[in-house]
Chain A
Amino acid sequence: MSLKTTVALLGLVTLLAACSEKPQTAHTRKSDSQAWSGAPGDPYSVPGWKAGDQASWEQQMRTRAQGQNEYSRATTQ
């Protein structure tokens, strides 16, 4: 392989390397949906609360947090 070909190939590789960069365009911040509105179609959602019902979601959070409380999970001796 001649020197010219090698240089051309290296140049091509260097140029094409940037093709893996994702395009970056300016955005304004998007508004987020509420956590209590749930994730539609998510098979990993747990039962015990109703998506879209804020009160039931908050109750679910409180109930779920008690899973971290060993004094409510096991009887003390």
Chain B
Amino acid sequence: MARMKFICDAERCIECNGCVTACKAEHDVPWGVNRRRVVTLNDGVPGEKSISVACMHCSDAPCMAVCPVDCFYRTDEGVVLHDKDVCIGCGYCSYACPFGAPQFPTNGTFGLRGKMDKCTFCAGGPEVNGSEAENEKYGRNRLAEGKLPACAEMCSTKALLGGDGDVVADIFRTRVLQRGKGSEVWGWGTAYGKPTGTKS
């Protein structure tokens, strides 16, 4: 049984926000809501690192634990989803989530906080797979189309990997073993070649 997970390689992420754009376009995410975003640590300082963050589809999800109306559920593939018809937009999940994944659109005439919206791992929601209702509430159901999340598949540097946890972990492990560590990864020698000699 597949267990869907994301991994983001901080050595590769170039903060292009392609994943954010892909997600917004694929699911027609409303203004003010970002299901995925890129976080940069030590921005502007040499050695800064960026990482793409969205719902991590936790195995023991705190959002599920605190939801007062029990709108969350986990699919057999380990994807944490929720039913927007049940959500009351209370925001408890937002406080519980360590990744800031739950988002709340300010919609309606009076700018009220709407029902929670978050990354679905491109797996839609409890509506009929690929239906108009599912698309309107949760976006595309790419998993039911035999595809993987748009953000991971669109990533130009393949920093963001998504899919069966065992498979993406193997891909990441192979990459790390091949590229080495430290200055071998992105150092001077990689960019300009190894020094051939030293001047006296």
Contact = CB atoms under 8 A, between A and B. Distances in A.
Interface residues on A, range: 35 or more
B122 to A, nearest CB: 10
Interface residues on B, range: 35 or more
A24 to B, nearest CB: 9
Contacts of B174: 69, 71
Contacts of B162: 65, 68
B167 interface: yes
B145 A29 contact: no
Interface SS, A side: loop
Given A29-B71, A29-B126, A71 B178 contact: yes
Interface stretch (B35-43, B50-58, B72-80): B72-80
Interface of B: 1-2, 70-71, 73, 75-77, 79, 81, 83, 85-86, 108-110, 123, 125-130, 141, 143-148, 152-153, 155, 158, 161-164, 167-168, 171, 174-175, 178
Interface of A: 17-18, 20-22, 27-35, 37-42, 44-49, 57-58, 60-62, 64-71, 76
The 8 closest A-B pairs by CB, nearest first: A39-B130, A65-B163, A30-B126, A35-B143, A42-B130, A27-B85, A39-B129, A39-B144
